[in-house]
């Protein structure tokens, strides 16, 4: 905007310069005409003062002054006086008092006619000024077209293409100061939308793959249940021991089906993260009491040493329900992939933020997998043979960021640590 204001200011300055130039030229031409008359009248007065009679004055050598008249001061006739001071048609008059020996003896009337203005000269001055002004206007219009109108047209086309869902192709960056950063922002937004759409398509594809896989896997326990139930119905098993075995298998396969159904329900959500975040405030002690009430006993049953360091009961920003879900995902992750020895919870503050370090012993993921652990549907090599869908840590990160916090991971020789950041 500053550059545009400079252009406007330049146009105003150029207009003032041209107006001053044209006005000065016309004034100089007018002064030149008047100067010619003054030179002639001064020459005539000089002759009169030297004693030359006014009636005998030869005016043929003069180009401006055409006539000289004298009105004696002794004349009292009103008609003569009025006639003297009346200007003739198409002529200009100049009156000058005439003194002799310090006394006023009368008035001298100079009748003169100034030469016409040089129309040709005035014309060329005007044309030159108008030409300069036109060039300035054309320059401004070209500048506006190149730096504003054309980029705006391209911006309009880009917006229409984005609205139609055409996210492929690059948007040409503009180097001007008006729309350059805006066009860059549109291009960046288009890329983000394209990445988001691709991610959604990949998630949908992965979701369908999971559903197909689970649908196929569920057939095995169903067939076994049908087989065992038919055998019991037809009394194929005579021994009581065989009958109990068949019923036990049915119960186990039913449990497997239940787990498969849970996975299907979880994977078939239209949007895994379509949840409402109730942004508010809660105390750290309230959150830890909720978490420990569930997982302290589970850690004891699993013989996992759970250590919780002392902490200041700070007021945290976020949703206590979603924060609890984050801890639940971390604990379930440890139960699946940890070595079952120890979990440490430590607390510290940094940059006015509350940090909670969740550490568990076990074999961490390898280096080439570490940077992908928060991606959706990612499962490391240490998860082979274990049930899961690779969404736990992804959901943790999304929940924390929706609460204006964050989560990071670090690994060591002993195990993995996750740092939760609350504002």
| Per-residue pLDDT tens digits for 129-142 | 777 777 777 777 77
Are the C-beta atoms of residues 359 and 417 closer than 8 Å to each other?
A: yes
- Domain assignment present for residue 203? The answer is no
| Together in a domain, 24 and 90 | yes
| Together in a domain, 323 and 338 | yes
Give the residue from 338, 336, 382, 329 showing the smallest Cα distance to 359.
Answer: 338
- Domain assignment present for residue 211? The answer is no
- Which helix (DSSP H) or strand (DSSP E) does residue 71 occupy? strand 65-72
Domain end residue (candidates: 60, 78, 112): 112
Structure tokens at 18: 């041209």
| Together in a domain, 236 and 363 | no
| Together in a domain, 296 and 246 | no
Structure tokens at 96: 């000058």
The model's pLDDT over 219-270, given as tens digits with 9 standing for 90+, comes to 777 877 887 888 888 888 888 888 888 888 888 888 878 777 766 666 555 4
| Together in a domain, 246 and 135 | no
Determine phi and psi for 239, rounding to 5 degrees: -75, 145
Are the C-beta atoms of residues 383 and 336 closer than 8 Å to each other?
A: yes
Are the C-beta atoms of residues 14 and 132 closer than 8 Å to each other?
A: yes
Structural domain span for residue 186: 119-196
Give the residue from 265, 268, 262, 264 showing the smallest Cα distance to 215.
Answer: 264
| Together in a domain, 91 and 143 | no
Q: Tell me what pLDDT residue 355 has.
A: 97
The model's pLDDT over 150-202, given as tens digits with 9 standing for 90+, comes to 766 666 666 666 665 555 555 555 555 555 566 666 666 666 776 777 777 77
- Domain assignment present for residue 153? The answer is yes
Q: What is the mean pLDDT of the chain?
A: 77
| Together in a domain, 415 and 309 | yes
Distance of CA 281 to the CA centre of its chain: 31
Give the residue from 100, 109, 139, 112 showing the smallest Cα distance to 8.
Answer: 139
Q: Tell me what pLDDT residue 270 has.
A: 47
CA separation for the pair 138, 132 (Å, rounded): 10
- Domain assignment present for residue 207? The answer is no
Determine phi and psi for 294, rounding to 5 degrees: -95, -45
- Domain assignment present for residue 288? The answer is yes
DSSP string over 368-416: HHHTTTTSTT---GGGTTS---S-HHHHHHHHHHHTT-EEEEEE-SSEE
Determine phi and psi for 96, rounding to 5 degrees: -140, 125
Domain end residue (candidates: 57, 82, 112): 112
DSSP string over 332-378: HHHHHHS-SSEEEEEEEEETTEEEEEEEEESPPPPHHHHTTTTSTT-
| Together in a domain, 127 and 18 | no
Structure tokens at 86: 């009346």
Number of structural domains (the chain) is 4
| pLDDT confidence tier of residue 408, bands split at 50, 70 and 90 | very high
Output 361 or 24, whichever has higher pLDDT: 361
Domain end residue (candidates: 90, 112, 134): 112
Output 124 or 53, whichever has higher pLDDT: 53
| Together in a domain, 192 and 145 | yes
């Amino acid at each position: 905007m500053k550059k545009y204001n400079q252009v406007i200011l330049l146009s105003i300055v150029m207009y003032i310069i041209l107006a001053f130039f044209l006005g000065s030229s016309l004034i100089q031409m007018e002064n030149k005409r008047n100067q010619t008359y003054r030179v002639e009248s001064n020459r005539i007065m000089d002759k009169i003062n030297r004693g030359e009679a006014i009636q005998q004055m030869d005016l043929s050598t003069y180009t401006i002054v055409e006539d000289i008249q004298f009105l004696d001061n002794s004349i009292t006739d009103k008609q003569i006086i009025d006639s003297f001071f009346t200007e003739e048609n198409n002529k200009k008059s100049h009156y000058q008092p005439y003194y002799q020996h310090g006394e006023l003896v009368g008035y001298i009337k100079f009748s003169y006619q100034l030469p016409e203005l040089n129309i040709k000269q005035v014309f060329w001055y005007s044309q030159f000024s108008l030409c300069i002004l036109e060039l300035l206007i054309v320059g401004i219009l070209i500048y506006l077209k190149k730096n504003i109108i054309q980029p705006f047209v391209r911006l309009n086309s880009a917006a229409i293409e984005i609205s139609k869902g055409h996210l492929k192709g690059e948007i040409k960056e503009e180097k001007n100061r008006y729309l350059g950063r805006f066009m860059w922002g549109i291009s960046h937004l288009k890329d983000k939308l394209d990445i988001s759409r691709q991610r959604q398509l990949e998630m949908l594809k992965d979701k369908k793959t999971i559903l197909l896989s689970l649908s196929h896997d569920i057939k095995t326990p169903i067939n076994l249940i049908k087989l065992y139930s038919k055998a019991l119905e037809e009394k194929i098993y005579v021994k009581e021991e065989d009958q109990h075995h068949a019923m036990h298998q049915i119960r186990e396969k039913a449990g497997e089906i239940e787990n498969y159904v849970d996975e299907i329900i979880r994977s078939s959500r239209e949007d895994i993260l379509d949840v409402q975040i109730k942004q508010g405030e809660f105390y750290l002690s309230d959150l830890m009491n909720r978490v420990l009430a569930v997982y302290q006993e589970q850690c004891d049953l699993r013989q996992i040493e759970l250590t919780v360091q002392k902490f200041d009961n700070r007021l945290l920003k976020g949703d206590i329900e979603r924060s609890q879900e984050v801890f639940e995902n971390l604990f379930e992750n440890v139960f699946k992939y940890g070595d079952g020895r120890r979990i440490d919870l430590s607390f510290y503050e940094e940059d006015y933020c509350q940090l909670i370090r969740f550490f568990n012993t076990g074999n961490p993921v390898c280096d080439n997998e570490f940077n992908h652990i928060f991606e959706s549907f990612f499962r490391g090599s240490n998860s082979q043979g274990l049930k899961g869908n690779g969404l736990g840590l992804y959901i943790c990160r999304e929940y924390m960021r929706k609460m204006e916090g964050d989560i990071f991971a670090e690994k060591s020789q002993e195990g993995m640590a996750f740092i939760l950041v609350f504002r």
